[in-house]
C-alpha cells in the first residue's frame, strides 16, 4: 500500500491541477450561460443547488421566484444541468407554444425520461401527439364521464365513512388527511381507469408499487442498486407491465361485444372498432404503449387531485362564509338521505360549488411547475437566449397570482357567471396547462373535486387542527399544506348512501 501511494504521489500535483481546472471551466460555463440574469453567482461543483432543492424545495423555489421578480425569470444549476425558472405568464406561454424538436420538449420531471420510460405522452409532439389525443378522446365523452361519476361518488362515500370511523376511534386526536386522500384517489384512479381487471390482490400490489414510486420521485437521480431513484424506476416498470396486461384483457372483452365499464374499455372499444374497419391496428396502440399512457393518466390524476382535496379542506376551514354558502347550495340540490348519488343535472346546478372548485385550482394549482428541456438555443427575450440543454421551469403557480382582480385572495366570486375572470384572465389560468399538452381530463378532474366538496361538507363536520405554519406550501412533487391537513371529523348526516362497487 505504501509503495502504491509512493508511486502515485508524483502525479498528485497534476491531479489537483486537473481538478481545479475542471471546476474553473464548470464555473465559467455556468456564468457564461447565466450572463446578467438573476441567480446564484457561485455554484457547488456538479451538484449545484441540488441539496437545497431536495431538502428544502419550498424555500428553493421561493428564492427563484423572488429573484425572477425583475426580469420575469431567473437561473440556477442542478446536478450538471443549467436551469431557468420562469415567473412571467407571457414567457411561460412562449414555452408552452413551442413544443417541437427544434425548441422545447416537455419532460414532466427533471430526469423524467429515465424514470417514466420511452412510451410516454409527456415526451410526444407533432402528428404522433395529435393522433394519440384523437385516440383517447372517447375516454372523456359525456357517456364515459357519466360512467366514471358513479364510480367516483361511491368510492368517495366509502372513504368518508372510513375517515369518520377512524377519527371517532381517537376523539380529540387529529387524523392526517394527506395519506388518506392519496389512498382514496388511488382507488378512484384504479377503478375508473382499469376497474374490473384489478383483483383485490392486484390492487394491493399496485398500491404498493405506486406509493414506492411516489415517495421516491423527488430523490437524487442516482440510478444505482438500492438507491431511491432506482426503486422508483423499477416500480414504474412493474406498473406499466401490469397496465399493459389489462389493455390486452380489455381488447379481448371489447372485441367480444362487452359494454365498457371503465376508461380502458372506452379506449379499447374505439381501438377495436378501428381495427375492424381498417384491418390494421392504429398507431401507438400496442399494449405496452397503452400501458405507458395509462400510467401517464394515473400520475396526472393521482397527486394533483390529492393536493386539491387537501387545499379544499384547508381553505374551507379558513373561509367559513364560503363553507356556509356551499352547504346551503348543496342542501337545496342534493340530500345524502335520498339514498341516491348526485346526478349530472344536479352537478350542473351546483354553480357556486363549481366556482369554489375552480378558485381552489387557481389559488393552489397542484402542478406548480412544468419542466421543459431546450432542444436548441431559444431566444426567450430580446436580450437573453436560453442555451441548448437547459431545463426550463414555467411556473403555473406564479401565473395564478397575476392578472386576476383579487389574485392574492381566495375569492370564488372571480369565477361567477357575472365576473367570468377565468375567461378574462384565461392566459393566467394555467393549472390545466396550455398549448398542445393541455390536460385532456380536466372535466373529469373538476367533476371529482366538486363531488368531493359536496359530499365532504354535507356528510361530515370537520375541524382543522392548526399549528404555526400549517398552511405553508410543501413540494412533493405537487404542492401540499405543510402539516398534511390534520383534522377531526364527525358525522353530520345520520344516513347517506351505502353503495358498493359491482
What confidence tens digit (pLDDT) does each residue in 342-396 have? 999 999 999 999 999 999 999 999 989 988 999 999 999 999 999 999 999 999 9
pLDDT on residue 475: 82
Sheet holding 104-106, edge to edge: 73-78, 81-86, 391-394, 372-374, 104-106
pLDDT on residue 12: 59
Q: Give the mean pLDDT of 3-17.
A: 58
Q: What would the pLDDT profile of 18-72 be if each residue is shown by its tens digit? A: 555 666 778 888 999 999 999 988 888 878 888 888 788 888 999 999 999 999 9
Residue ranges covered by each domain of the chain: 28-110+371-430
372 with 394: CB under 8 angstroms? yes
DSSP of 13-32: HHHHHHHHHHHHHHHHHHHH
Q: What would the pLDDT profile of 248-279 be if each residue is shown by its tens digit? A: 999 999 999 999 999 999 999 999 998 888 88
365 with 57: CB under 8 angstroms? no
How many other C-beta atoms lie within 10 A of the C-beta of residue 199?
Answer: 10
Is the pLDDT at 166 greater than 90? The verdict is: yes
Strand partners, 82: 77
Band of residue 16 on the pLDDT scale cut at 50, 70, 90: low
pLDDT on residue 43: 84
Calculate the alpha carbon distances from 457 to 96, 193, 306, 310, 325 in Å.
37, 27, 17, 13, 11
The chain-wide mean pLDDT, for the chain, equals 88
Question: What's the CA gap between 393 and 374, in Å, rounded?
Answer: 11
44 with 59: CB under 8 angstroms? no
Q: What percent of the chain has pLDDT over 70?
A: 89
In this prediction the pTM is 0.88
Is the pLDDT at 75 greater than 80? The verdict is: yes
Residues in contact with 241: Cβ distance below 8 Å, sequence separation at least 6, in sequence order? 291
Is the pLDDT at 337 greater than 80? The verdict is: yes
pLDDT on residue 221: 61
pLDDT on residue 4: 52
pLDDT on residue 21: 64
Residues in contact with 455: Cβ distance below 8 Å, sequence separation at least 6, in sequence order? 153, 156, 157, 160, 336, 342
**Is 262 marked as a binding-site residue?**
no
Q: What percent of the chain has pLDDT over 90?
A: 57
Buried b / exposed e across 36-50, counting CB within 10 Å, b at 16+?
ebbbbeebeeeebbb
3 state SS for 70-134 = CCCEEEEEECCEEEEEECCHHHHHHHHCCECCCCEEECCCCCHHHHHCCCCHHHCCHHHHHHHHH
Comparing 2-16, 94-108, 272-286, the range with the smallest average pLDDT is: 2-16
Instruction: Provide the phi-psi class of 366: left if phi over 0, else alpha when psi is between -120 and 50, else beta.
Output: alpha
Q: Give the mean pLDDT of 299-324.
A: 92
Of 112, 115, 31, nearest to 76 by C-alpha is 31
Length of the chain in terms of residues written: 502
Q: What would the pLDDT profile of 387-426 be if each residue is shown by its tens digit? A: 999 999 999 999 999 999 999 999 999 999 999 998 999 9
pLDDT on residue 109: 63
Amino acid at each position: 500500500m505504501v509503495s502504491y501511494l509512493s508511486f502515485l504521489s508524483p502525479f498528485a500535483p497534476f491531479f489537483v491541477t486537473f481538478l481545479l481546472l475542471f471546476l474553473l471551466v464548470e464555473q465559467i460555463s455556468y456564468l457564461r450561460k447565466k450572463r446578467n440574469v438573476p441567480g446564484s453567482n457561485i455554484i457547488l461543483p456538479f451538484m449545484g443547488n441540488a441539496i437545497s432543492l431536495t431538502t428544502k424545495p419550498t424555500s428553493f423555489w421561493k428564492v427563484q421566484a423572488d429573484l425572477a421578480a425583475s426580469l420575469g425569470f431567473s437561473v440556477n444549476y442542478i446536478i450538471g444541468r443549467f436551469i431557468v425558472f420562469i415567473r412571467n405568464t407571457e414567457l411561460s406561454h412562449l414555452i408552452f407554444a413551442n413544443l417541437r424538436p427544434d425548441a422545447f420538449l416537455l419532460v414532466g420531471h427533471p430526469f423524467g425520461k429515465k424514470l417514466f420510460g420511452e412510451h410516454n405522452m409527456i415526451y410526444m409532439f407533432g402528428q404522433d401527439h395529435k393522433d394519440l389525443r384523437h385516440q383517447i378522446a372517447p375516454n372523456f365523452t359525456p357517456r364515459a364521464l357519466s360512467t366514471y361519476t358513479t364510480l367516483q361518488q361511491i368510492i368517495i362515500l366509502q372513504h368518508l365513512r372510513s375517515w369518520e370511523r377512524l377519527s371517532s376511534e381517537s376523539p380529540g386526536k387529529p387524523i392526517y388527511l394527506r395519506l388518506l386522500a392519496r389512498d382514496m384517489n388511488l382507488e378512484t384512479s384504479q377503478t375508473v381507469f382499469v376497474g374490473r381487471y384489478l383483483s383485490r390482490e392486484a390492487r394491493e400490489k399496485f398500491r404498493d408499487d405506486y406509493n414506492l414510486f411516489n415517495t421516491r420521485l423527488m430523490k437524487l437521480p442516482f440510478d444505482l442498486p438500492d438507491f431511491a431513484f432506482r426503486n422508483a424506476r423499477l416500480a414504474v416498470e412493474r406498473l406499466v407491465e401490469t397496465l399493459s396486461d389489462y389493455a390486452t384483457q380489455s381488447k379481448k372483452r371489447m372485441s367480444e361485444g362487452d359494454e365498457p365499464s371503465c376508461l380502458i374499455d372506452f379506449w379499447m372499444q374505439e381501438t377495436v372498432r378501428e381495427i375492424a374497419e381498417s384491418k390494421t391496428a392504429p398507431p401507438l396502440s400496442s399494449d405496452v404503449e397503452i400501458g405507458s399512457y395509462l400510467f401517464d393518466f394515473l400520475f396526472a390524476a393521482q397527486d394533483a387531485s390529492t393536493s386539491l382535496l387537501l387545499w379544499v379542506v384547508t381553505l374551507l376551514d379558513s373561509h367559513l362564509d364560503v363553507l356556509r354558502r356551499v352547504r346551503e347550495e348543496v342542501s337545496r340540490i342534493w340530500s345524502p338521505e335520498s339514498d341516491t348519488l348526485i346526478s349530472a343535472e344536479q352537478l350542473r346546478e351546483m354553480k357556486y360549488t363549481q366556482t369554489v372548485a375552480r378558485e381552489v385550482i387557481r389559488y393552489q394549482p397542484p402542478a406548480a411547475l412544468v419542466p421543459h428541456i431546450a432542444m436548441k438555443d431559444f431566444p426567450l427575450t430580446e436580450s437573453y437566449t436560453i442555451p441548448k440543454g437547459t431545463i426550463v421551469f414555467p411556473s403555473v403557480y406564479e401565473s395564478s397570482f397575476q392578472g386576476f382582480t383579487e389574485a392574492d385572495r381566495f375569492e370564488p366570486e372571480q369565477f361567477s357567471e357575472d365576473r367570468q375572470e377565468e375567461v378574462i384572465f384565461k392566459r393566467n389560468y394555467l393549472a390545466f396547462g396550455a398549448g398542445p399538452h393541455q390536460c385532456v381530463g380536466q372535466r373529469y378532474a373538476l367533476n371529482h373535486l366538486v363531488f368531493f366538496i359536496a359530499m365532504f361538507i354535507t356528510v361530515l363536520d370537520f375541524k382543522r387542527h392548526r399549528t404555526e405554519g400549517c398552511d405553508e406550501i410543501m413540494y412533493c412533487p405537487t404542492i401540499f399544506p405543510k402539516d398534511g391537513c390534520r383534522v377531526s371529523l364527525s358525522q353530520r348526516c345520520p344516513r347517506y348512501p351505502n353503495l358498493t362497487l359491482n
